[in-house]
Chains A and B, each alone.
Chain A
Amino acid sequence: MDRFLETFFNPVVMAKYAPDVIAGMGVTLVIAAAVIVAGIALGLGLACLRAYRRKIPNFFIICYADIFRALPPLVLILILYFGFPSIGIRLSGSMVLFIVLSLTLAAFAEEIFWAGFSSVEKGQWEAGIATGLGFTRTLVYVALPQAVRLAMPPLVNRVLAITKMTALGSAIGVVEILSASTTAQSFSGSATPLTLSVIAYLAIFMPMVVFARWLENRTAWKKR
């Protein structure tokens, strides 16, 4: 038991590397926040565009959403990070992480919002247009609020899953939580920094998981 504590909870190592891991938390939080804002905005924009039901834009939106839902983000990260410099586009690791995760989140968000739009009853659209609002304003004032409410629980779950993927940044040299702690692990020769990273992730994501569960239970309750 002592050996276990010594290996995974060594207080000296903890004290020494906690600042690095906390700095990593800052990086994780900033990238996660940027991904959430950009991904949801793009996804919502695309879903609205899709609501106009124009054939050609919709074809591209559907292809985009399908492809980015089917591809593992790590594949895209490696392509952007290692492939793009040779065509003259050099992006930093955090930029690559931001772009790939935002595009992935946007693809899922588009599908989720679109499902929300599709489940708004036809009568609502007709009623909006009958009052003289026009299509765009019916979309914004009538359909959108209902779609967003329906989209919330699956969207929160998806946001959680994708912001967790900021850990992939450790594969391309972004000094977020995981890479700060693996570096510390190899310097200290102790597994304690890995424990620190687990604690750091739990501190950030546990509240989100609990929030997601609460949100789901609340909507499930209302349905009855």
Chain B
Amino acid sequence: MDIFLDQFFNLAIMQKAFPLLLKGAWMTLQLCVAVILLGLVGGLFVALGNLSPRRWVRWPTIVYTDVFRALPPLVLLIFIYSGLPFAGIKVSPFTAVVIAFLLNNSSYYAEVYRAGLISVAKGQWEAAASTGLSRTQSLIHVVLPQAVRNVLPDLLSNTVEVVKLTSLASVISLSELLYSADMARSVTYNASPLVLAALFYLVLLWPLVRLVSHFQRRLAA
């Protein structure tokens, strides 16, 4: 038991690693803001493409969503980070993460938006058009708010996944939360910094996970 506590909950080591992890957490937050915003915006456009009446818009975007939902995000990340330099395109770790996750997240968010947009009755479009709103105006002011409300739990749970995914950035040595913790682990030969990182993630994500469950229950009722 003592060994266990010493290896996983060593307070002295945790205290020492804390500033480093805090720095890592800051990087994780920056990453989150970038990839969530880009995913939300990119996903909306992909979803609109998915639902487009024009076949040459619809099919490519459907293939896009399916391909990027089939590829593991880590594979995309490695491909961009260590594959593209072979073609003479060098990207920083941060840029590689942002590009890889934009491709991955926009497909996932697109699926959520699509479900939401479908759930809005056609009469809403027609009513909006009859008041003289253009297609774009109807979308922004009438349809989208209802669509988003209908799929809010899914949007939220997808966002939780996106935050968790940022930990993959540690694989290409971007000094976010998990990378910092693993550095501290390899210096101290002790897993406590990793446990501390896990606690950071829990503090950040547990409230969101609870919120998702809450929404889902309310929706089921």
Count of CB-CB pairs between chains A and B under 8 Å? 147
Q: Which of B171, B190, B201 contacts A75 (CB 8 A)?
A: B201
B164 touches A83 (CB 8 A): no
* Interface presence of A27 (CB below 8 A): no
Known: A4-B87, A111-B213, A164-B72. A72 touches B201 (CB 8 A): yes
Q: Which of A67, A164, A177, A210 contacts B202 (CB 8 A)?
A: A67
Residue of B nearest to A62 (CB): B213
- State which of A48-56, A133-141, A196-204 sits at the interface with chain B: A196-204
A75 touches B74 (CB 8 A): no
Known: A70-B160, A86-B191. A75 touches B83 (CB 8 A): no
Residue of B nearest to A66 (CB): B209
* Interface presence of B210 (CB below 8 A): yes
Known: A82-B185, A191-B83. A178 touches B75 (CB 8 A): yes
* Interface presence of B133 (CB below 8 A): no
Question: Distance in Å from the Cβ of B198 to the closest Cβ of chain A?
Answer: 5
Alpha-carbon distance between A209 and B78 when the two chains are bound, in angstroms? 22
Alpha-carbon distance between A178 and B161 when the two chains are bound, in angstroms? 21
* Interface presence of A15 (CB below 8 A): no
B217 touches A118 (CB 8 A): yes
Q: Which residues of chain A have C-beta atoms less than 8 A from B118's C-beta?
A: 220
B164 touches A71 (CB 8 A): yes
Residue of A nearest to B8 (CB): A83
* Interface presence of A59 (CB below 8 A): no
A194 touches B83 (CB 8 A): yes
Q: Which residues of chain B have C-beta atoms less than 8 A from A185's C-beta?
A: 82-83
* Interface presence of B20 (CB below 8 A): no
- State which of B11-19, B62-70, B135-143 sits at the interface with chain A: B62-70
Interface class of chain B by DSSP: helix
B70-118 interface with A by 8 A CB criterion: 70-75, 78-79, 82-84, 86-87, 115, 118
Interface class of chain A by DSSP: helix
Alpha-carbon distance between A74 and B202 when the two chains are bound, in angstroms? 14
A152-181 interface with B by 8 A CB criterion: 160-161, 164-168, 170-171, 177-178
* Interface presence of A58 (CB below 8 A): no
Query: How many A residues have CB within 8 A of the partner chain?
Result: 54
Question: Distance in Å from the Cβ of A118 to the closest Cβ of chain B?
Answer: 6
Query: How many B residues have CB within 8 A of the partner chain?
Result: 53
* Interface presence of A8 (CB below 8 A): yes
Known: A66-B206, A201-B75. A87 touches B70 (CB 8 A): no
Known: A79-B194, A198-B75. A190 touches B8 (CB 8 A): no
* Interface presence of A148 (CB below 8 A): no
Q: Which residues of chain B have C-beta atoms less than 8 A from A170's C-beta?
A: 74, 171
Question: Distance in Å from the Cβ of A78 to the closest Cβ of chain B?
Answer: 5
B71 touches A70 (CB 8 A): no
Q: Which residues of chain B have C-beta atoms less than 8 A from A198's C-beta?
A: 71, 75, 79
Q: Which residues of chain A have C-beta atoms less than 8 A from B72's C-beta?
A: 164-167, 178, 201
B120-150 interface with A by 8 A CB criterion: none
Question: Distance in Å from the Cβ of B18 to the closest Cβ of chain A?
Answer: 17
| A160, A161, A208 pick with most chain B CB within 10 angstroms | A161
Known: A178-B74, A202-B71. A87 touches B202 (CB 8 A): no
Chain B residues close to A by CB (< 8 Å): 3-4, 7-8, 66-67, 69-75, 78-79, 82-84, 86-87, 115, 118, 160-161, 164-168, 170-171, 178, 181-182, 185, 189-191, 194-195, 197-198, 201-202, 205-206, 208-210, 213, 216-217, 220
Known: A8-B83, A86-B3, A86-B191. 12 other contacts (CB 8 A): A67-B202, A71-B205, A75-B198, A78-B178, A86-B189, A111-B213, A164-B71, A167-B74, A182-B78, A182-B82, A197-B75, A201-B72
9 A-B pairs closest in CB distance: A83-B191, A205-B70, A191-B86, A167-B72, A72-B167, A70-B205, A72-B164, A164-B72, A191-B83
A-B contact pairs, 11 of them (CB 8 A): A8-B87, A66-B206, A70-B202, A76-B198, A87-B3, A164-B71, A177-B75, A178-B78, A182-B82, A202-B70, A206-B67
